């Protein structure tokens, strides 16, 4: 069957949702929608969760935009031609720039955009708009872990080893991840770990479906993961479990770190975290008795105003016990969004250029400016982080282009962010559906999605994969790359922004060459010939069959002791870390309270997260009937003791109030949560919007907001 430009009935591709990027096959037949068929792929081994299984539903014309919309003088959105819509966007951006200066125009990207789109969007902002104001929603996802890994290892790749290693190690500590709900096929690796005789420790204030699988569940107060890690490391020291040889030969900074560790003795840590000392001792025994061990963190410890230090504390535990830079041992971050890894490597982040280069590095600026054919002096400097950018809307920033994000639902202090969006002189949104953010826009541009376009993403392992076009998009829809190309042409950059994904990827490879995330040796053909290619993968050294693929690329130290492989660099740091001296760096960290602790007026913790059947802001999954039936709306999970104290029963409407606003949702009474904490999923807009409540207090290093802990009052609505 000839389908679009792909001559195949079955098209191998990947799920459009989370960072696991499960492999799947789209079977394109005579039906209105392609059929999703499971296929073997290393991370999911044929399994798909309900979101992936139903992902073709989002391609349906019934749920999506099919023509551009522009807002008329009467305030209503009406259909428009692409010519008119793109002209309106270009005018809106140029008018703001002419009146208020280049940094009055901003761009907000997304961690679900393909590598090609993330690259093109960053280049568009810095070259065509010449604004410093670009960031993306990945800042809200794993930026603390990225910062902590860069600080400790000199390089940030979510997992520095393939996910399959989790099943072959001896002990895994999973901190703040409910992967049984967020990426269910990954749970099988943990099941296999236990079948192989390994042990699983889960750290989570809630007894989630993941925690139920654990040999040991530590249930700390929200916001105390850092103290917990320090307490475990204290016991490692006092019980003689340090790996002195590893500390001496492969790390630096232990002497500066030790005092903070010794200040967190077990009884103090029990008081801070609520985790009993015997459980701390048992965790240390399980972790250290195993010949190899792995620590994995996710949003729980990362989405805190001390997220970078918290992740740093868990990395310290790995380093002090010699559980890093060795096969089957190490630290890794379970990135959340579909292209959460690639999305932070190619230049849509406020402080970065393609190849994961730093925007304030003169050599990096000169190199990338050369690829882009501009003067390095013309490249703007680092701009505001995501929340700071949103907070400046309608004030310093007058016009905004949003691509692949729905901050009305997903940003912290979402009521305030919604007000800021409404205060803009001009807002343009590219999306596949009329999201809550698109509903505020002056121009809405309907764009193609995963199965209708080709592009690469980089999964949580640093594995670069290819999503292939399987079907043609609806007639009235264009790709994000075509949008960028069309806007750039209107801004005077006629031939500098190609719309063809492979052409963009070729330029991305060149721009990344020599950077920490070097893609220069990766081609579409090479990905297609294997199960993806792990970066770093420099061009000259990594032709298939080469045995010299060791580098993070020209101009840098050789690749962090990477293993060599035809499929790039699956494992990092085996001989040396990517720091200038090759040593991993301890982080001297100390516990500090959350930005907002419970008080008489707001006596409980609120923590937020995801549920099995919904994804992120729900813009796509709320439109899939099976998923919506399974998870139709928000709820407030609370402990039976708290429910009794408040006099509420399951299903009663609860009002949850923080210093930023009020949300209302039905009670879900469950002993799976601490009595001092309530939980709300954040996928929905409206009165049950959890992010109305969340605290935008920022981590000073990563600028990550504190989604995971704030103080609330709970009462009957």
Residue among 70 and 187 whose Cβ is closer to ligand SF4: 187
Q: What's the token pair of residue 545?
A: 């069959």
Asked if 404 is part of the footprint of ligand SF4 (rule: CB under 6 A), the reply reads no
94 φ/ψ angles, rounded to the nearest 5 degrees: -70, -35
Q: What's the token pair of residue 325?
A: 């830079």
Q: How many residues does the chain have?
A: 717
**Closest CB to ligand SF4 belongs to which residue?**
52
User: Rounded to whole angstroms, how far apart are CA atoms 257 and 586?
Assistant: 7
| x/- letters, 340..379, toward ligand SF4 (CB under 6 A) | ----------------------------------------
77: CB partners within 8 A, 6+ apart: 69, 70, 71, 441, 444
CB 413 within 8 A of CB 691: yes
In the complex, minimum distance from the CB of residue 532 to ligand SF4, in angstroms, rounded to a whole number:
13
CB 690 within 8 A of CB 608: yes
Asked if 17 is part of the footprint of ligand SF4 (rule: CB under 6 A), the reply reads yes
User: Rounded to whole angstroms, how far apart are CA atoms 189 and 165?
Assistant: 8
CB 198 within 8 A of CB 293: no
Asked if 21 is part of the footprint of ligand SF4 (rule: CB under 6 A), the reply reads yes
Stretch that binds ligand SF4, among 16-24, 320-328, 595-603, 632-640 (CB under 6 A): 16-24
Asked if 51 is part of the footprint of ligand SF4 (rule: CB under 6 A), the reply reads yes
Query: Which of 11, 26, 36, 49 forms a contact with ligand SF4 (CB under 6 A)?
Result: 49
In the complex, minimum distance from the CB of residue 48 to ligand SF4, in angstroms, rounded to a whole number:
4
List of long-range contacts for 498-505, beta carbons under 8 Å, 24+ apart: 501/114, 501/116, 501/453, 501/454, 501/455, 501/456, 502/454, 504/116, 504/119, 504/120, 505/115, 505/116, 505/455, 505/456
169: CB partners within 8 A, 6+ apart: 193, 198, 290, 292, 293, 294, 328, 329
Question: Which H or E element spans position 270?
Answer: helix 266-273
Asked if 15 is part of the footprint of ligand SF4 (rule: CB under 6 A), the reply reads yes
- Identify residues 164-183 at the interface with ligand SF4 (CB under 6 A): 183
In the complex, minimum distance from the CB of residue 158 to ligand SF4, in angstroms, rounded to a whole number:
14
Asked if 457 is part of the footprint of ligand SF4 (rule: CB under 6 A), the reply reads no
Residue among 183 and 654 whose Cβ is closer to ligand SF4: 183
In the complex, minimum distance from the CB of residue 55 to ligand SF4, in angstroms, rounded to a whole number:
7
Stretch that binds ligand SF4, among 49-57, 73-81, 464-472, 509-517 (CB under 6 A): 49-57
| x/- letters, 52..91, toward ligand SF4 (CB under 6 A) | x---------------------------------------
Mapped to the 3 state alphabet, what secondary structure does 519-576 carry? CCCCCHHHHHCCCCEECCCCCCCCCCCCCCCCCCCCCCCCCCCCCCECCECCCCCCCC
Query: Which of 20, 86, 408, 680 forms a contact with ligand SF4 (CB under 6 A)?
Result: 20
Stretch that binds ligand SF4, among 17-25, 254-262, 316-324, 507-515 (CB under 6 A): 17-25
| x/- letters, 422..441, toward ligand SF4 (CB under 6 A) | --------------------
In the complex, minimum distance from the CB of residue 49 to ligand SF4, in angstroms, rounded to a whole number:
3
Which of helix, strand or coil describes residue 161?
Answer: coil
CB 561 within 8 A of CB 325: yes
Compute how many residues bind ligand SF4; rule: CB under 6 A.
14
Asked if 184 is part of the footprint of ligand SF4 (rule: CB under 6 A), the reply reads yes
Strands 352-353 and 69-71: unpaired
Asked if 44 is part of the footprint of ligand SF4 (rule: CB under 6 A), the reply reads yes
Residue among 17 and 635 whose Cβ is closer to ligand SF4: 17
Residue among 226 and 409 whose Cβ is closer to ligand SF4: 409
Residue among 534 and 586 whose Cβ is closer to ligand SF4: 534
In the complex, minimum distance from the CB of residue 47 to ligand SF4, in angstroms, rounded to a whole number:
8
User: Rounded to whole angstroms, how far apart are CA atoms 125 and 97?
Assistant: 12
Q: What's the token pair of residue 224?
A: 């105390």
Asked if 161 is part of the footprint of ligand SF4 (rule: CB under 6 A), the reply reads no
Compute how many other C-beta atoms are within 10 angstroms of the C-beta atom of residue 101.
Answer: 12
CA angle 377, 378, 380 (to 5 degrees): 100
- Identify residues 234-293 at the interface with ligand SF4 (CB under 6 A): none
In the complex, minimum distance from the CB of residue 163 to ligand SF4, in angstroms, rounded to a whole number:
11
Query: Which of 34, 138, 185, 515 forms a contact with ligand SF4 (CB under 6 A)?
Result: 185
600: CB partners within 8 A, 6+ apart: none
Residue among 162 and 355 whose Cβ is closer to ligand SF4: 162
Give the chain's count of helices (H) and strands (E): 22, 32
Stretch that binds ligand SF4, among 15-23, 162-170, 191-199, 471-479 (CB under 6 A): 15-23
Place of tokens 């760096």: 585
Stretch that binds ligand SF4, among 19-27, 305-313, 415-423, 484-492 (CB under 6 A): 19-27
Asked if 386 is part of the footprint of ligand SF4 (rule: CB under 6 A), the reply reads no
In the complex, minimum distance from the CB of residue 181 to ligand SF4, in angstroms, rounded to a whole number:
10
CB 94 within 8 A of CB 398: no
In the complex, minimum distance from the CB of residue 646 to ligand SF4, in angstroms, rounded to a whole number:
35
Query: Which of 26, 28, 36, 48 forms a contact with ligand SF4 (CB under 6 A)?
Result: 48
Query: Which of 22, 89, 389, 411 forms a contact with ligand SF4 (CB under 6 A)?
Result: 22
Q: Provide the binding-site residues for ligand SF4, judged by CB under 6 A.
A: 15, 17-18, 20-22, 44, 48-49, 51-52, 183-185
């Amino acid at each position: 069957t000839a389908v679009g430009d792909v001559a195949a009935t079955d098209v191998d591709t990947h799920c459009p949702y989370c960072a696991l990027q499960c492999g799947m096959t789209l079977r394109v037949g005579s039906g209105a929608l392609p059929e999703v068929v499971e296929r073997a792929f290393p991370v999911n081994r044929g399994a798909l969760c309900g979101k992936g299984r139903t992902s073709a539903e989002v391609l349906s014309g019934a749920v999506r935009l099919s023509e551009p919309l522009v807002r008329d003088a009467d305030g209503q959105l009406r259909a428009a031609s692409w010519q008119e819509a793109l002209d309106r966007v270009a005018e809106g951006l140029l008018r703001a720039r002419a009146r208020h200066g280049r940094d009055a125009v901003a761009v907000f990207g997304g961690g679900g955009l393909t590598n090609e789109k993330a690259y093109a969007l960053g280049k568009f902002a810095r070259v065509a708009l010449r604004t410093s104001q670009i960031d993306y929603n990945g800042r809200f996802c794993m930026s603390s872990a990225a910062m902590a890994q860069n600080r400790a290892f000199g390089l940030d790749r979510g997992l520095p080893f393939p996910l399959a290693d989790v099943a072959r190690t001896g002990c895994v500590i999973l901190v703040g991840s409910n992967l049984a709900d967020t990426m269910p096929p990954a749970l099988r690796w943990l099941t296999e770990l236990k079948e192989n005789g390994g042990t699983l420790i889960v750290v989570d204030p809630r007894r989630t479906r993941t925690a139920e699988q654990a040999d040991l569940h530590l249930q700390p107060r929200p916001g105390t993961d850092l103290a917990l890690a320090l307490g475990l490391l204290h016991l490692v020291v006092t019980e003689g479990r340090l790996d002195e040889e590893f500390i001496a030969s492969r790390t630096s900074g232990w002497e500066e770190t030790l005092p903070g560790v010794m200040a967190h003795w077990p009884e103090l840590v029990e008081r801070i975290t609520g985790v009993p000392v015997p459980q701390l001792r048992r965790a240390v025994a399980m972790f250290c008795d195993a010949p190899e061990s792995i620590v994995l963190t996710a949003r729980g410890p990362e989405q805190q105003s001390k997220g970078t230090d918290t992740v740093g504390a868990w990395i310290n535990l790995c380093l002090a016990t010699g559980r890093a830079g060795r096969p089957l041992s190490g630290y890794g971050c379970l990135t959340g969004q579909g292209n959460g890894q690639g999305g932070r490597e190619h230049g849509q982040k406020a402080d970065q250029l393609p190849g994961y280069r730093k925007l304030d590095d003169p050599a990096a600026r000169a190199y990338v400016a050369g690829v882009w054919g501009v003067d390095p002096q013309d490249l703007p400097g680092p701009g505001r982080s995501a929340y700071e950018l949103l907070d400046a809307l309608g004030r310093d920033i007058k016009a905004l282009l949003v691509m692949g994000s729905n901050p009305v639902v997903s940003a912290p202090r979402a009521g305030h962010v919604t007000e800021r969006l409404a205060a803009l002189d001009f807002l343009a949104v590219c999306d596949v559906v009329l999201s809550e953010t698109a509903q505020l826009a002056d121009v809405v541009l309907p764009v193609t999605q995963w199965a209708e376009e080709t592009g690469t993403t980089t999964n949580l392992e640093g594995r670069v994969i290819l999503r292939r076009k399987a079907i043609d998009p609806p007639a009235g829809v264009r790709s994000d790359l075509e949008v960028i190309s069309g806007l750039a042409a209107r801004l005077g950059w006629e031939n500098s922004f190609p719309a063809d994904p492979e052409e963009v990827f070729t330029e991305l490879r060149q721009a990344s060459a020599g950077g920490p995330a070097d893609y220069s040796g990766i081609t579409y053909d090479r990905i297609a010939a294997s199960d993806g290619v792990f970066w770093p993968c420099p061009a000259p050294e990594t032709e298939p069959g080469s045995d010299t693929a060791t580098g993070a690329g020209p101009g840098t130290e050789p690749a962090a002791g990477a293993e060599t492989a035809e499929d790039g660099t699956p494992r990092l740091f085996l001989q040396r870390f990517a720091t200038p001296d090759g040593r991993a760096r301890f982080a001297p960290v100390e516990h500090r309270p959350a930005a907002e602790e419970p008080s008489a007026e707001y006596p409980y913790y609120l923590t937020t997260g995801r549920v099995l059947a919904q994804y992120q802001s729900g813009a796509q999954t709320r439109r899939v009937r099976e998923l919506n039936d399974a998870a139709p709306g928000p709820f407030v999970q609370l402990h039976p003791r708290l429910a009794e104290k408040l006099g509420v029963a399951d299903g009663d409407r609860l009002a949850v109030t923080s210093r930023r606003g009020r949300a209302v949702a039905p009670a879900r009474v469950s002993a799976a949560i601490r009595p001092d904490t309530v939980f709300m999923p954040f996928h929905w807009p409206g009165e049950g919007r959890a992010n109305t409540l969340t605290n935008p207090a920022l981590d000073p290093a990563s600028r990550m907001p504190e989604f995971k802990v704030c103080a609330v009052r709970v009462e009957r609505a």
